[in-house]
Amino acid sequence: MRKLVHRPRRLRRSPALRNLARETHLSVHDFVLPLFVSEKVQQRRLIASMPGVFQLSAKEVADDARAARDLGLQAILLFGIPEQKDEQASGAYAEDGIVQKALRAIKSKCPELVTITDVCLCEYMSHGHCGVTRIDGDHFHVLNDETVELLVKTALSHAAAGADIVAPSDMMDGRVGAIREALDERGFDQTSIMSYAAKFASAFYGPFREAAESPPQFGDRRSYQMDFANANEALREVALDVDEGADIVMVKPALPYMDILWRVRERFRKPTAVYHVSGEYAMVKSAVEKGFLNERDAVIEIMTALKRAGADIIVTYWARELARWLRE
Ligand code: PBG
């Protein structure tokens, strides 16, 4: 047999050689932990479809944020569930709204923890859509510009309560530019924007809608979230958000959209985030509960793959476990 010069397997022989040749390393700093704070709970309430994830009171969310910080995590992403919903989503931008209260509580305990807030109206709207709606017969429209106005108010109130980064997740047109301008005008020029730039209308948000109590009461979100068949459209959406001043761009969900993630990172060279969403979490969790998968091995493989595909930031419900695993 011809003598081989190239033997790629040489570098796989031992753990030390594999460590030496490894291209992608996970760090606790890669992860953002989502937390759900609810005006309706006194004591943490388990979300059935997302084992290990809870709805928390404002006091508990500050405790959990501190515990996350103690594990070495640097950032959390906050979602709020209000007591009352209405058709103007007034809880989203109320000065003493649930997210605003939680932010103040968190910042008083851990000022250095990076607080990111989800800026969306669906949890605060009685109909569960991400914007102001108008119903014409059996059709409904989400009114873009009216919605953007409310999103701007929401982002400003989060910044005033101590958010370091606001993260609009609604997919209205022009909201990043409008939020940037308003933040700058009010002296919040240091508040960053992480835009959910390429957010697909996905089946994988199912469990989240239980967690955030935000399923649409009629219709679905396909008139504002993106068609999962489209990649060029995703790149155009990201280009707009970058143009309007997004500091970080996000692709969501994660695993079914790794091609998009890769292209966004390659093309725009912006800090790029990916959201490994509730359905992706539930899928692995249920296989783990049945004994079909080893949780730690599966999760480390998924997260490494996302980072390899270009993610600088990974939003994941496993952030705490990852922080522990990476320490061992
Ligand atoms: C909108 C929002 C959603 C998620 C994050 N922000 C739900 C939706 O668009 O229906 C989903 C996150 C997940 O599934 O983990 N506020």
Mean pLDDT of all residues belonging to the chain: 95
pTM: 0.96
> What's the CATH code of the domain at 208?
3.20.20.70
CA atoms within 13 Å, Cβ hemisphere of 162: 21
Amino acid at 286: S
Residues near ligand 1 (Cβ within 6 A): 118, 120, 122, 169, 205, 208-209, 221, 277-278
Q: What are the structure tokens assigned to 26, written together?
A: 């996970």
Please tell me the residue having the least CA distance from ligand 1 atom 10. 205
Between residues 211 and 160, the one the model is more confident about: 160
Distance separating alpha carbons of residues 207 and 279, to the nearest angstrom: 6
pLDDT of the residue at 3: 86
What's the token pair of residue 281? 């979490």
Report the percentage of the chain scoring pLDDT > 70.
100
Helix axes 232-243, 258-268, angle to 10 degrees: 40
Ligand 1 centre distance from Cα of residue 296 (Å): 25
Tell me how far apart the alpha carbons of residues 145 and 175 are, in angstroms, rounded to a whole number: 9
Cβ atoms of 199 and 252 within 8 Å: the answer is yes
In total, how many domains does the chain have? 1
Range of the domain at 264: 25-325
Assess if residue 58 is contained within a domain: yes
Instruction: Classify residue 125: in a domain, yes or no.
Output: yes
Count of alpha carbons within 13 Å of 7, Cβ hemisphere only? 9
At 137 the pLDDT is 80
Q: Assess whether pLDDT exceeds 90 at residue 109.
A: yes
Say whether 252 is catalytic: yes
